[in-house]
Chain A
């Protein structure tokens, strides 16, 4: 799927409720309360953190292309929604196979390790012990060095090649795509291609290539975690996020579980109250046992739920008007638990544009 289509896909889910920045932060995997909340509400898990080093410039270009082609429009308040043509296009899109929520940019680490391993085997089997490593990252170098003392030690180049080849074969991805993917690998007398070079050769834009590459890695990594072949499993060690909470929210969660109140945590951690609130929203999103009733009356919770359903919105500003007596924080918590407690409002198909994805992408 092209970058523009990915963006259209995201906007179709946020339809009319968010500004363009929401999509940008989502793709970059910003760990803010708002982005995490959006991810959850709108089922955007596949896209979260898919391009951590996305430049605002590239994003804006794509956004403007969508505007210019009439697929999306901005309302007066700046929120963005799909036109009829946009809706038709979005409905016809293939399901995305990204799995950003689980990998969060760590797939790059897997690729760096793979590339260094292949490069090393390639040179060693040609009798060359001196080469410039394709990854200058010391942590990547260390992992690969350890692999060569363990897993790789008992394998000959043929076995390594076969494992990689069979692994890719079993993902069922098309050949042309895999050829573009593997063009990034280097070996003896044969360097990988830069994005620019690959773009010239394939006729695809650099952005589209990068999106395809990330998706290819996600697809492959998902398959690897099922197949458990020795080398590929070792290379993908630690690339799946263990806890859905970000580092800082995790700390807050621990203190909360240890019996501290919000103010106390803010003081102890020397953080602003708004940050602690963000953490609580994040915890509420992820913790099935979150004690929502300690933060709002059951009656209010139910009222907000039915109002949100009636208006068909999860927009805070809209709901706040109906419930001036509740704080934004309370509303956010209630929304965070929406559809997760008894009488859940259910979830829809994964990866289908226009509707929240199933939470199967969550950890």
Chain B
């Protein structure tokens, strides 16, 4: 448990960073063999790509690392734990499953897009073409994650044309 809190605290730092860059404050850390292998923060505005979520950014970093280190990508992802401040959305939940990540730990749930139980359960539904499901631990530092999101939505995202990008985040578990 303490281990989960410690890693999540790190993820929270990256969420904070995203907030100061005007992005949705979601941060994550990919832990491999008890080491921080990659981190991610939302980069949607910067990349003009709505799929640049923290998880996707971090996954991409691990892919690059595997190429540089000449490591087998599949084997590396099989030993990764994701710590993310907000429940992964349906897209990221699908990406994590296809990469074979076995464990996802998240903070607060995502009542709009959540793919690990809130809206759909991509983590454990029977989806044979996406590979086996993964385990999910939720509610780690949920309150902190909610606070960051609240801070963000107090000042609307200036890059969105209207307020539709709002993700109303659920309160802590």
Chain A complexes with chain B: no
Binding site for A on B (CB under 8 A): none
